[in-house]
Structure 1
Amino acid sequence: MHPFRKAVEAMDHAAVEALLAEDVVFTSPVAFRPYPGKAITAAILRAVMRVFSDFRYVREIASADGRDHALVFTAKVGDMEINGCDFLHMDEEGKIDDFMVMVRPLSAAQALSAAMGAQFDRVKAEAFGGAEASAGSAGTPADGER
């Protein structure tokens, strides 16, 4: 079992964050631009853990060299069923340096977008503190960016 999967299933936020490289890039299924950096990625992942219910990984696929992983999951956003996949790339130190999420169906992706949008002020505050969060430095996913 991949250490990231183990940490998520244990709801261990500190372990999840420890697995992220400082220069990790998170590509959201509902935002146009990727989010660079460990602080914002960790804050987004904490928010996702608040938004999803009945989350479980159902399959794990790894490349032969062990640096690429696909973790297939199911969850609920409100009463909507969602299926998705976390695509992870590990750097030479074994840290996640690229993290991309894909989800389906569209109706569940839209529910996820709305739920995460409601979390985004908190996400920015957790990642950057009050001053930068107020200034919008993390870039809340606007409708034109989804």
Structure 2
Amino acid sequence: MHPFRKAVEARDAEAIEALLADNVVFTSPVAFKPYPGKAITAAILRGVMRVFEDFTYVKEIGAPDAADHALVFETTVAGKRITGCDFLHLDADGKIDEFTVMVRPLSGAQALAEAMAAQFEQIQREAVAQIEREAAAAEQ
């Protein structure tokens, strides 16, 4: 089992964040522009854990030592059933540096977009707070 899958299934936000590279780029299924950086990606993933209901991975594609992995999932958001896939690319250190999510059907993607829009103010606050904590720690 891929370590990211294990962390997500355990709902372990700290373990998920530890698997992200500092320069990770998150590409959302419902936003036009990618989100660069660990702080915003970790905050988005925490938001996703708040809106996904009955989340489960159903398939893993990729050899254990490969740089690219696909994790197929099923979940529900606001009563809409969603099938999706997390596409992960690992850097030389084994950290996730590219994270792309795709979902279907359109009604599920729309429900996800609405649910995440409701989360986005909190996501931004969490990301800014993390960046500020890291900057303060670097100054010491």
Do the two structures share a fold, i.e. TM-score over 0.5? yes
Distance in 2 of aligned mates of 1:112 and 1:93: 32
Secondary structure class of the residue paired with 1:125: helix
Distance in 2 of aligned mates of 1:2 and 1:35: 23
Distance in 1 of aligned mates of 2:113 and 2:57: 20
- Superposed, 1:122-137 pairs within 5 Å as 122-129=122-129
Alignment-derived partner of residue 118 in structure 2: 118
Alpha-carbon deviations, 1:76-130, whole Å to 9, x = none? 001110000000000000000000000000000000000000000000000013x
Q: Quote the offset at 1:65 in angstroms.
A: 5.1
Q: Quote the offset at 1:63 in angstroms.
A: 4.9
Using structure 2 for the length normalisation, give the TM-score: 0.90
Cα RMSD over matched residues? 1.5
Name the aligned partner's letter for residue 102 of structure 2. Answer: M
Distance in 1 of aligned mates of 2:45 and 2:16: 8
Distance in 1 of aligned mates of 2:71 and 2:64: 15
Distance in 1 of aligned mates of 2:114 and 2:2: 30
What is the number of residues matched between the two proteins?
A: 131
In the alignment, structure 2 segments of 5+ residues that lack a partner are 133-140
Distance in 2 of aligned mates of 1:92 and 1:113: 33
Secondary structure class of the residue paired with 1:107: helix
Runs of 4+ in structure 1 deviating by more than 4 angstroms, as ranges, are none
Identity %, equivalent residues? 69
In the alignment, structure 1 segments of 5+ residues that lack a partner are 133-146
